[in-house]
Every structure is written in C-alpha cells, then in structure tokens.
Amino acid sequence: MVSSTQKSVRIGVIGVGRMGRNHCRVLSTIRHVTLVGVTDLNESNGRQVAALHECTFYPTVEELLRQVDAVIIASPTPSHHALAMRCMAQGIHILIEKPIAATVAEAEALVAAARQQQVVVQVGHIERFNPAYTELKHVLENIQVAAINFRRLSPYVGSNTDVDVVLDLMIHDLDLVWDLMQQPPTAIHAVGLTAFSGDIDHALAQFTFAQGPIVTVMVSRLTEHKVRSIDVTGLEAYVEGDLLNKRILLHRSMTGEYLHHQNSVKYRQESLIERLHVPMAEPLFLELQHFVASIRTGCPPLVSAQDGLQALRLASEIGAAIRRDLRAVQPASAGATALRRSQEGWRMAVTQPS
C-alpha cells in the first residue's frame, strides 16, 4: 500500500497500443498520480507517447519497474502472465487489461500469486465502472428479473482480430453476468459463426441458473452498427440499458381498463416510460481512479484477479463449445476482397504517419 500521505502514486504503462494510449491520457488527468513513463517493444511508438505526455520512455520493462509503485499492463494478452508475475515479485501494484491471461492455467497462477503478495491486482473489465451499468444494478434491486439479454456488436474493420470474438467482446459481458448472478450457471448452450477471421466472429451463449433468470449473451464483429446493451425483462418493468450512450429506460405498466363506447367494448392499456439520469463520467477515468484509491488505502479492488479468472473460465468453456460445431458463412468473393482491402487500408491509415 502507498501511504495516503504520499503526494502521488508513481505509475507506468507497459504497452502503448490503443488501450495503453488511453490509459496514459487519463492517468495524466488524475489527482495523486504521476505518470512516470512507458515502455513498448516498438520504440518509435513508445517515444512518441512519452513525448506527448511529457514522461520518460524506458527501453526495457525492468528499467520502468525500478521507477514506479504501480503499472498498467496493456500489452498483448500472451504477455500478461509473465509481466504480472514479475511485477508482483517486486511488490508493484498492477492493473491488467482484460482478459487477465491467455489461458485458464496462467490466470489460476496469477490468482494464487495475488493472494500471497501484498499488492493490488485489478483486472480491466471496464464495464463495471460504466455509470449506466452502475445505475442499472440499482434499478434491478427492486425488480424480480425473469430474463436478461446482453448485446455487444461491432464492425469487423477496427475489431481486435488477434483473438476470437468471445475473448475480444463477450468476455466483457461474461464478467457482468458473474457480477449480477454471483453464482455459476448450471448449464451453458453456445453457438457461433466464422466469416472473415477463420475463428469465431459471431457468437450466442445462453445460461441457466439454479435460481435465477435466463441470461443470453450475443456478440458479433460482423455488424455495421455498434451496440452495447443490456435489456432486462422483469415482472415489474422492462428495462433498456444502453452502455454505449449511457441511457436507461424503464417501461412500466400503469393502467388497464375496459372502455364502453356505444355498443362496443374496447380495452386500453397505458404504460409509463421513465428515463433515468446517468452521470456522464468516463468509465476509464473511474476505473483508474478506483485503482489509485485501492493502492492508497489498501482496500480490495472492485474487479479482482479472481473475477478475471471467472470470466476467462466462462469464455474458454464457451469458445471450446462453439468450436466443436463452428459454422462458416462464406462471403461472396467480391465482397470478401473489398473487405480485406478496406481492412488493409484502415490498418495503414492508423499505423502510418500522415
């Protein structure tokens, strides 16, 4: 733990890809934080980000670790286990981007090490800090839930195609399922499709629980419309949660009555739609602010290594089930060629300086 009287927590960032850059941007705005520096295998990118945020680029991880109290591990998933183990062995607090590790065995080793070390280990399941999700949980405290539907949809171009869509997108919602249900499912049914990547690009998983609602999670990177939603069917209300636009709507039945008009009888039902206030705070800011507070106070993080392991276990089980009967959608050759060209053009646009 860093003493609450210490002026600031010295933090470094390992990996300055898209998420690493966002971490640097937000860390630069948080009180009681000093962004000490960054490290990345791509020295050019690393120095560029360091210059932008007026911090130091360190050529090696070891050099960075000698200067910090904590690090953000935003490097590719296969490196998470080794980096986290090194950090914990040196008493350095860590926030690991999701998924916690590449395999369940690696994640289990990290959980065991986290229990032994006196450091904060937080996993970057950022939706836990989404104000819309926080408000949704409050609403559900007063509703008897029958079913929950999660949808997380994205275009293929721009998606992280280094992993399948279960590890890229669904794992966010699997963590939320655990958080809401607080128990493992009694049964899982999962199906999926591949179209462009050769791996799972579209997936649907349905969960049943001993005592609880039916939960369905659908993810896709084949859509041209970005969606992040949680819809809840309850006995008292129907709830629409929009995590992307930070919006929650409650649909409640108010009255039902029969109307007598001349010689006919008509039935009328009126309903009320409530739009709840959701604070417009950036989830990444709230996540990093919480990480810093955990370091300064010694309080356990909201999303622990054990939480990361549970989400990864579910994702691994779902991925294995889908691959036993993975269906292929064959795009027309012209369309596939156009998509590949579009993707290549997009990658060049984001990797080549203008």
DSSP string, 251-283: EEEEEEEEEEETTEEEEEEEEEEEEE------H
Containing H/E element for 177? helix 171-181
pLDDT at residue 331, rounded to an integer: 67
pLDDT at residue 159, rounded to an integer: 75
Nearest by Cα to 291 from 121, 146, 157, 125: 121
Would you say 268 and 261 are in contact if contact means Cβ atoms under 8 Å apart?
A: no
CA pair distance 60, 127, nearest whole angstrom: 31
Identify the structural domains of the chain with CATH numbers, from first to last: 9-127+284-303 (3.40.50.720), 128-280+313-351 (3.30.360.10)
CA pair distance 20, 57, nearest whole angstrom: 13
pLDDT at residue 285, rounded to an integer: 98
CA pair distance 341, 51, nearest whole angstrom: 33
Give me the tens of pLDDT residue by residue for the chain, a chain 354 residues long.
Answer: 565 556 799 999 999 999 999 999 999 999 999 999 999 999 999 999 999 999 999 999 999 999 999 999 999 999 999 999 999 999 999 999 999 999 999 999 999 999 999 899 999 999 999 999 999 999 999 999 999 999 999 998 877 777 899 999 999 999 999 999 999 999 999 999 999 889 999 999 999 999 889 999 999 999 999 999 999 999 999 999 999 999 999 998 765 555 566 667 666 556 788 899 999 999 999 999 999 999 999 999 999 999 999 999 999 999 999 999 999 987 665 455 455 545 544 433 333 333
Side-chain-side CA neighbours of 317 within 13 Å: the count stands at 16
How far is Cα of residue 210 from the mean position of the Cα atoms in its chain? 26
Q: Reduce the DSSP state of residue 134 to 3 states and report it.
A: helix
CA pair distance 189, 171, nearest whole angstrom: 16
Q: Whole-prediction pTM value?
A: 0.86
Beta bridge partners of 214: 147
Containing H/E element for 328? strand 327-328
Token pair recorded at residue 271:
């309903």
Nearest by Cα to 172 from 129, 214, 118: 129
pLDDT at residue 158, rounded to an integer: 73
Computed from CA positions of residues 106, 112, 170, 126, in that sequence, does the dihedral angle turn out positive or negative? negative
pLDDT at residue 349, rounded to an integer: 36
CA pair distance 230, 99, nearest whole angstrom: 21
pLDDT at residue 1, rounded to an integer: 52
Mark 55-81 as b/e (b = at least 16 C-beta within 10 Å). Answer: bbbbeebeebbeebbbbbbbbebebbb
Token pair 């709830």 in the structure block, residue: 239
Token pair 């939960």 in the structure block, residue: 215
How far is Cα of residue 234 from the mean position of the Cα atoms in its chain? 25
